[in-house]
Structure 1
């Protein structure tokens, strides 16, 4: 078995699994798992090949020619890695599937890059920048003051977008990922849920709270999150990890809670050799940011964590400056474990 090739295939299947190069401990774990799978294959289906999609096949070794067995015992099962064309076909399929998710990424129609964004992680600002880079800024702004309207109703129907989605592969593009701290994002999602009511019916069914009449505390919101499938739920509180990352790891990650978004976007432009955008001159960006609710409510953190907040407070303030109590942090770290591991 070509062990180095197996490690390469594992990274293609999920780039987050292994360092590059793999650490000795990771190699040891892969060898141990491979041995366990080999043993299981031999016990459960004697004499039959066992295929591991995207990796290879366990086959029984043919008996050695007479007189060549030697004194060393031979494993009855051998592992044959998949041929490269089969692996490439599997990668291309998973890439296309990821680009067609319910909340699709943003591929550049010219095939230079793909943007992975998450609601409540500066997605509107990222989207305005994206439209500017594509030369669609004026068209998108004329269509609607909320940039996501153009994305949903016009951009995803454009022929050049559809062509790029169908033809551009992972090897051709740079992937930009924009995230924020998963716990702070949950606080932002909470205010959004209370203010806009997008999850009211789901919250009522899950925990029996009528947000319109009773308000909702951050503690209750986490109660609700604990009933959700955070890989497939509403995008405003869905995990930030995207299936595209299992095919190609982001080439650049901007965490807006760790660094300046505008500087990060300019750095990505420089990386691609694109003109550097003066984001201070994009008035649309700053007009949207001016609508943010001021966070002026203060008090004991544990009390604020358990205090029901109203629709009016979510929309107009006052809103707590802090909600991440020790209990909230512990619960959210468990809920958003993958995001915490990758982005926090």
Structure 2
């Protein structure tokens, strides 16, 4: 399991520049396409709006179970998002459901899953270092050769985030707010706060299922969720306690645990981070202003 080591050193600030878009603008601006195309359950008339690094795999597996597709997804690829991208998104059933939801939104319940924006960004940074998916773009942004082994400072990460278009960058650290979230006309809009204490995501989904008079899912019987937890989630039971500053270096190496709480608290104290995440924070804190009438 990947771990994180921290040290402190001074680094030069990155030179601001605009980085390439992740998707063509026409695709990124399509409410039912974009970075995180909503999942649409035609039989149960649900539009599920989700974001990467916000329990997305849990939501997807729930969708697969509800539609009897989990076995097919496992047969296609162990990682269910491959099935979502390659099969579901191109299927006639899904495309028909999308067209129906666009034409008749009043028949659908719109359900939005969202994570606390600052906590999610801390998680996204860890994922960036563990999965090494962004080394090329970070090298451009930082004006130097970047690798996850040498890492970057918190200051550099903030600079990188200021250079990207949060509406059209890698979905793992892009804005969680989708254009479809602003749309009204649905039968009802339900907002799920993933970081709120008291209930786990399975319990929150069960509340929604009961509200919509659906069969309640027994998540304890879905062994795929155990597999996802074992293979893709990092244990935070002994997270690091290092104090975080702008010059703390974050790297993918054996060493100290990832300080989720400390890093999240530090980012929450930085005005530039709150400015970057302002739209996400506003939706998370004020879902009623977006037409959501039920918050779980």
TM-score, normalised to structure 2, is 0.76
Tell me, in whole angstroms, the C-alpha distance in 2 between the residues paired with 1:196 and 1:242.
Answer: 24
Instruction: Tell me by how many angstroms 1:307 deviates.
Output: 2.5
Instruction: Tell me by how many angstroms 1:102 deviates.
Output: 4.3
Confirm whether residue 220 of structure 1 aligns to residue 156 of structure 2.
yes
5+ residue gaps, structure 2, are 1-28, 286-296
Larger displacement relative to structure 2 (241-250 or 224-233): 241-250
Tell me, in whole angstroms, the C-alpha distance in 2 between the residues paired with 1:133 and 1:273.
Answer: 14
1:190 is matched with 125
Instruction: Tell me by how many angstroms 1:195 deviates.
Output: 1.4
Tell me, in whole angstroms, the C-alpha distance in 2 between the residues paired with 1:329 and 1:141.
Answer: 42
1:166 is matched with 99
1:53 is matched with none
Give the root-mean-square deviation of aligned CA atoms: 2.2
1:245 is matched with 181
Larger displacement relative to structure 2 (156-165 or 322-331): 322-331
Instruction: Tell me by how many angstroms 1:166 deviates.
Output: 1.6
Tell me, in whole angstroms, the C-alpha distance in 2 between the residues paired with 1:155 and 1:244.
Answer: 19
* Structure 2 residue corresponding to 1:271, chosen from 196, 208, 211: 211
Instruction: Tell me by how many angstroms 1:243 deviates.
Output: 0.5
Tell me, in whole angstroms, the C-alpha distance in 2 between the residues paired with 1:107 and 1:155.
Answer: 10
User: Is contact 2:112-2:181 (8 Å) kept?
Assistant: no
User: Is contact 1:195-1:312 (8 Å) kept?
Assistant: no
Larger displacement relative to structure 2 (209-218 or 168-177): 209-218
For these two proteins, the number of residue pairs brought into alignment is 246
Residues 200-238 of structure 1 deviation map (CA, whole Å, 9 limit, x = unaligned): 111111122412452123332222101111112111111
User: Is contact 2:77-2:83 (8 Å) kept?
Assistant: yes
Instruction: Report the CA distance shift for 1:157/1:260 in structure 2 as closer, same or farther (over 3 A).
Output: same
Q: Which has the higher contact order (CA 8 A, sep 6+)?
A: 2
* Structure 1 residue corresponding to 2:243, chosen from 280, 301, 318: 301
5+ residue gaps, structure 1, are 1-95
What is the SS of the residue equivalent to 1:145? coil
1:329 is matched with 269
Q: What does 1:1-344 correspond to in 2, within 5 Å?
A: 97-110=30-43, 112-168=45-101, 169-209=104-144, 210-248=146-184, 251-258=189-196, 259-291=199-231, 292-295=233-236, 296-303=238-245, 306-313=247-254, 318-321=257-260, 322-326=262-266, 329-330=269-270, 331-344=272-285
Tell me, in whole angstroms, the C-alpha distance in 2 between the residues paired with 1:270 and 1:212.
Answer: 45
Instruction: Report the CA distance shift for 1:274/1:334 in structure 2 as closer, same or farther (over 3 A).
Output: same
Tell me, in whole angstroms, the C-alpha distance in 1 between the residues paired with 2:171 and 2:157.
Answer: 15
Instruction: Tell me by how many angstroms 1:145 deviates.
Output: 1.6
Instruction: Tell me by how many angstroms 1:297 deviates.
Output: 4.9
TM-score, normalised to structure 1, is 0.66
Residues 218-263 of structure 1 deviation map (CA, whole Å, 9 limit, x = unaligned): 3322221011111121111111111012212771111111042111
Q: Which has the larger radius of gyration?
A: 1
Larger displacement relative to structure 2 (171-180 or 255-264): 255-264
Tell me, in whole angstroms, the C-alpha distance in 2 between the residues paired with 1:127 and 1:317.
Answer: 32
User: Is contact 1:114-1:173 (8 Å) kept?
Assistant: yes
